[in-house]
Amino acid sequence: MDIYLYNTLTKKKELFEPINNKEVKMYSCGPTVYSYAHIGNFRTYIFVDSLRRVLKYNRFKMNHVMNITDVGHLTSDADTGEDKMEKAARKEGKNPYEIAKFYTDAFMKDMKKLNIDMPEIITKATDNIPQMLEMVQEIVDNGYGYETSTGIYFDVSKLDKYPVLSNNSVEGQEAGARIEVDNEKRNPYDFAVWIKAPENHIMKWDSPWGKSYPGWHIECSAMGRRFLGENFDIHTGGVDHIPIHHENEIAQCKGSFGHNPANFWMHCEFLLVDGGKMSKSLGNVYTLDELQEKGIEPIAYKLFCFSSHYRNKLNFTFEGAKASQISLNRLRQGYQNHKNGNQDIESSVISEYEERFHRAINDDLNMPAAMGIVWEVVRYETKSPKLAELLLKFDEVLGLEINQIPENNRELPDEIIKLIEQRNIARENKNWEESDRIRDELQNRGYSVKDTKNGTEVVKGG
């Protein structure tokens, strides 16, 4: 079945066909590891996870790279301010390498909690310095780069077209409107590819321009080229990357080897909080741990993300996330009900659901539509293990661990769970006599039974 993906470069949905028809080469901008990643960041990684899983569902092999930015991302994306890593290191009284290790480990733990299918290659910026330096040298040799007292800058006026991804127009914008004025720069939109290190900068390397360190944008250009070559299929990030980071990546690749490296540029829209921006100063930046403290599983947050298409803004509220937790419990209970059902179902019903689900995910990852089909299967009146199998197949794409016992029924002995499932089936079939009989049996065994809109809750004692 054809796959259509929205390409920021052409601003339309396009038929996706990999360069090499056996495998998809994809690069994803990874985290800057100077603090805990927040749930907004994870919206973007959940989008990347869905993309990977959809491509694999379509039988493509993946060659997917994600970087860890452990140097060079300045406090302003437009290459001004301090290095975020060094700033965090000073604040926490550690060195930047310790900071990077600590927050990389925390990030990986969270990715695992979200059941994210990990890229084949994860690489740290600091492990790719020679490849970056080589690229900077090419940019300078090709006449696109020039030296100032603070670093090597990219001359955007040398390009045939800049910008190509965003709608920002370079002409007509006053210098300083978005970018700090630097009198040594030839054009206001010129950006740093390589930065000369101040005396107290800890992460720095020898270079033809003295002790220095990479600019954030050159990192991704060089890592993409090293691991995927000069022409690959997909490059991903959040929408904030469109006007600066990705624009500049394309510019550098043109300056170094002559062309844009990726056929598709894909971007995930922002997660908002209570309708506004998520920001540390507003105190509304949440981590997965904070959600868990409020009884929201990371996977329930993933389900929450599926309530909106990745190209739409999504507003986070705790009420919304709690509703997703309830939905997740119901989904898992629905799976169990089918698994324990004993009815047969026509294969045409299964194949029709399969076809509709496949069409939804291949339509630029329409997860809200795909979830609608999943719910139809969950609620299907005939309870059949064949539908449980179908849900498991869909879960290859969703990654919701649908076959887990629902949260509210965890830690109960197997035979009790079995009784609950039998009772649920009886209730689905409106067999109240059987349902009451099982309730009594559960009570005789010391468990109290409560039917809530969240499904059946069974508690020992009570």
Give the footprint of Zn ion on this chain (CB under 5 A).
29, 220
Under the criterion CB under 6 A, does residue 255 sit at the interface with ligand AMP? no
Under the criterion CB under 6 A, does residue 240 sit at the interface with ligand AMP? yes
**Smallest distance, ligand AMP to C-beta of residue 27, A:** 12
- Work out what residue 331 binds among ligand AMP, Zn ion, none; the CB cut-off runs from 5 to 8 Å by kind: none
Residue among 271, 377, 405, 438 that touches ligand AMP (CB under 6 A): 271
Task: Please name the residue that has the structure tokens 């290790």.
Answer: 101
Residue among 268, 360, 398, 405 that touches ligand AMP (CB under 6 A): 268
Task: Write the binding mask 18 to 47 for ligand AMP: x where contact by CB under 6 A, - elsewhere.
Answer: -----------x-xx-------xx-xx---
- Work out what residue 268 binds among Zn ion, ligand AMP, none; the CB cut-off runs from 5 to 8 Å by kind: ligand AMP
Contacts with 175 (C-beta within 8 Å, 6 or more apart), sequence order: 181, 188
Q: Are 124 and 182 in contact (CB under 8 A)?
A: no
Residues 200-239 that bind ligand AMP (CB under 6 A): 237-238
Q: Which amino acid type is present at position 220?
A: C
Under the criterion CB under 6 A, does residue 185 sit at the interface with ligand AMP? no
Q: Which is nearer to ligand AMP, 311 or 356 (CB)?
A: 311
Q: Which is nearer to ligand AMP, 261 or 341 (CB)?
A: 261
Under the criterion CB under 6 A, does residue 371 sit at the interface with ligand AMP? no
Q: Which is nearer to ligand AMP, 240 or 363 (CB)?
A: 240
How far apart (Å, rounded) are the C-alpha atoms in residues 287 and 19? Answer: 37
Q: Which amino acid type is present at position 379?
A: R
How far apart (Å, rounded) are the C-alpha atoms in residues 153 and 182? Answer: 11
**Smallest distance, ligand AMP to C-beta of residue 113, A:** 17
- Structure tokens given for 353: 């659901």
**Smallest distance, ligand AMP to C-beta of residue 73, A:** 6
Under the criterion CB under 6 A, does residue 278 sit at the interface with ligand AMP? yes
Rule CB under 6 A: which residues touch ligand AMP? Answer: 29, 31-32, 40-41, 43-44, 237-238, 240-241, 268, 270-271, 278
